């Protein structure tokens, strides 16, 4: 091998190692829980505050539930759960 071929081989090795580090396997249930919490804390909370609601309950039919309520100091209290089947 000449110097140019060796450099190209080293570059390919570095790229492959970097790509391998970027691939992260995630448990599908963990991803679902993360999606639910992101929805509750994002669009659902925006809806609750945007319409100035006092109480709101949401249920996705798969065991995920959330309750929103206003506190005396006009804050927002959110309780949510995620159901996981093992």
pLDDT of residue 71: 94
Structure tokens belonging to residue 65: 């539930």
Per-residue pLDDT of the chain (86 residues; tens, 9 = 90+): 555 555 555 555 555 444 444 556 778 878 877 889 999 999 999 999 999 999 999 999 988 999 999 999 989 999 999 877 76
d(CA 77, CA 69): 5
According to the model, what pLDDT value does residue 45 have?
96
CA distances from 59 to 8, 22, 65, 66 (A): 55, 35, 4, 7
Predicted confidence at residue 23, as pLDDT, reads 53
Q: How many residues does the chain have?
A: 86
Spell out the domain ranges in the chain. 3-81
């Amino acid at each position: 091998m000449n110097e140019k071929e060796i450099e190209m081989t080293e570059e390919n090795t570095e790229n492959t190692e970097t790509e391998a580090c970027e691939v992260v396997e995630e448990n599908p249930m963990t991803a679902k829980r993360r999606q639910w919490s992101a929805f509750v804390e994002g669009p659902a909370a925006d809806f609750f505050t945007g319409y100035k609601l006092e109480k709101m309950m949401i249920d996705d039919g798969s065991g995920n539930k959330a309750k929103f309520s206003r506190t005396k100091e006009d804050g927002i209290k959110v309780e949510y759960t995620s159901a996981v089947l093992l």
